[in-house]
């Protein structure tokens, strides 16, 4: 009898009114968020996998090639060297910051003060999200490219800021048309996000575009946040940094990462750079949200930044994949294909089709997963584009080419 009473009591607790209503007490911030784009992609992919379809995944931009030997070997040695290292410094070790400064000088011919103008971060995603804590108050505007990286928006909403989306349109070479932003919005703006080379459109910024951003920031007293995480993946034209344009370092903060440059996504290390005054508020935020990047990870990043050979090999590998997929997608019925930089292809669907239907068609007909442009947009739907990430290994790229030869997406328009 006692056991039965306990069981009834337990069931009452589990199934009855005593259960905490978590949805009711969740924060307004979490309630305001759309489903994370790539989580939605994963959901659709799981449904297809259950039917036994072998999926070649061009969805999430996570490199599948090995992290280079120069990085892994340095990490192995550093684990022993740092065996009693304790908590790392919030800003990163002086060795890491000096390595960033040397690399930035070689790559962009811009001098940085390693002591005051560089800070390490736990991958650029964390830094991008928390950057808003340094400058945004309730009701402030943050200008965001659309489509764009979700943390630009979620970081804004976490501070009760107001996102203002500027569409990246094909007819404007996927550069934000700054002239379309109303003056009343600019007066209340704290941050303008730029992302070049651009994810997902692959576009490159021009000096003229960056100069327009700088002039606008100076006129309305806001900070430019320049996400340059794909700066090292390019083909015919080498990307510039906003710091290559006069006045850039005075009003912009640059975010970069080892994730894409050196296949170090799992290592979670990047860096944020700016002048001393602009960087200081963000560094204050960092001391309150994390305890620094692991020192042995910083040591491996130093080796990565000191070696360009593995980056050249990586670019050649992506170039090979790119050429195969550009031809395959063209033959499969896609329209204009954009692939100026990054490891993405921004593929225009045929007139009369849309990105979600095309993505489902590819999954169901040939087991190829991509990301609908609609999932990457908050305001401007981008429903006429699909993004392909060139991350599968070369043998899977060749298999995708074979499968694409058997279909034509123009069937969706008939």
Q: What pLDDT score does 11 carry?
A: 46
Pick the CATH number of 69-307 from 3.40.640.10, 3.40.190.10, 2.40.50.180, 3.60.15.10: 3.40.640.10
Instruction: Calculate the alpha carbon distances from 73 to 38, 69, 86, 290 in Å.
Output: 32, 6, 22, 26
Q: What pLDDT score does 20 carry?
A: 75
User: What number does CATH give the domain 33-62+310-413?
Assistant: 3.90.1150.10
Alpha helices in 82-182 (DSSP H): 94-108, 123-135, 150-158
Computed from CA positions of residues 316, 318, 320, 326, in that sequence, does the dihedral angle turn out positive or negative? negative
**CATH 3.40.640.10 residue ranges in the chain?**
69-307
Strand partners, 345: 388
Residue 47 φ/ψ, nearest 5 degrees: -60, -40
Q: What pLDDT score does 38 carry?
A: 62
Q: What pLDDT score does 40 carry?
A: 65
Cα separation, 57 vs 401, whole angstroms: 13
**CATH 3.90.1150.10 residue ranges in the chain?**
33-62+310-413
Strand partners, 143: 164, 192
Print pLDDT tens along the chain (414 aa): 445 554 544 444 555 555 678 877 888 888 777 766 666 667 777 888 888 889 999 988 888 899 999 999 999 999 999 988 789 999 999 999 999 999 999 999 999 999 999 999 999 999 999 999 999 999 999 999 999 999 999 999 999 999 999 999 999 999 999 999 999 999 999 999 999 999 999 999 999 999 999 999 999 999 999 999 999 999 999 999 999 999 999 999 999 999 999 999 999 999 999 999 999 999 999 999 988 999 999 999 999 999 999 999 999 999 999 999 999 999 999 999 999 999 999 999 999 999 989 998 999 899 999 999 998 999 988 999 999 999 999 999 999 999 999 999 988 776
Q: What does the DSSP 8-state code read for residue 76? A: H
């Amino acid at each position: 009898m006692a056991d039965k009473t306990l069981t009834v009591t337990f069931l009452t607790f589990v199934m009855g009114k005593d259960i905490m209503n978590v949805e009711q007490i969740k924060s307004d911030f979490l309630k305001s968020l759309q489903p994370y784009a790539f989580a939605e992609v994963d959901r659709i992919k799981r449904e297809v996998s259950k039917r036994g379809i072998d999926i070649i995944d061009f969805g999430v931009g996570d490199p599948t090639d090995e992290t280079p030997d120069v990085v892994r070997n340095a990490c192995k040695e550093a684990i022993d060297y740092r065996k009693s290292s304790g908590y790392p410094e919030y800003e990163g070790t002086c060795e890491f910051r000096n390595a960033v400064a040397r690399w930035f000088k070689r790559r962009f011919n811009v001098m940085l003060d390693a002591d005051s103008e560089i800070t390490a971060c736990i991958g650029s995603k964390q830094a991008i999200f928390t950057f808003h804590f340094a400058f945004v108050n309730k009701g402030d505007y943050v200008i965001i490219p659309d489509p764009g990286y979700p943390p630009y928006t979620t970081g804004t909403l976490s501070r009760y800021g107001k996102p203002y989306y500027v569409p990246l349109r094909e007819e404007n070479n996927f550069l934000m048309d700054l002239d379309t932003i109303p003056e009343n919005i600019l007066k209340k703006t704290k941050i303008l996000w730029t992302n070049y080379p651009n994810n997902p459109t692959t576009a490159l910024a021009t000096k003229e575009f960056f100069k327009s951003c700088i002039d606008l920031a100076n006129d309305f007293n806001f900070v430019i946040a320049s996400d340059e995480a794909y700066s090292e993946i390019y083909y015919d034209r080498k990307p510039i940094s906003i710091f290559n344009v006069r006045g850039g370092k005075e009003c912009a903060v640059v975010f970069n990462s080892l994730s894409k440059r050196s296949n170090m996504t799992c290592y979670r290390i990047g860096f944020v750079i700016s002048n001393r005054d602009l960087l200081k508020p963000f560094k204050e935020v960092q001391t309150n949200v994390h305890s620094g990047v692991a020192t042995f990870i910083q040591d491996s990043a130093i080796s990565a930044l000191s070696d360009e050979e593995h980056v050249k090999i990586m670019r050649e590998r992506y170039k090979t994949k790119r050429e195969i997929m550009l031809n395959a997608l063209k033959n499969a019925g896609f329209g204009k294909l954009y692939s100026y930089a990054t490891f993405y292809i921004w593929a225009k669907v045929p007139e009369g089709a849309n990105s979600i239907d095309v993505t489902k068609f590819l999954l169901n007909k040939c087991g190829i997963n991509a990301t609908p442009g609609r999932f990457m947009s908050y305001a401007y739907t981008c429903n006429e584009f699909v993004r392909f990430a060139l991350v599968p290994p070369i043998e899977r790229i060749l298999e995708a080419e074979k499968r694409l030869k058997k279909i034509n997406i123009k069937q969706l328009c008939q």
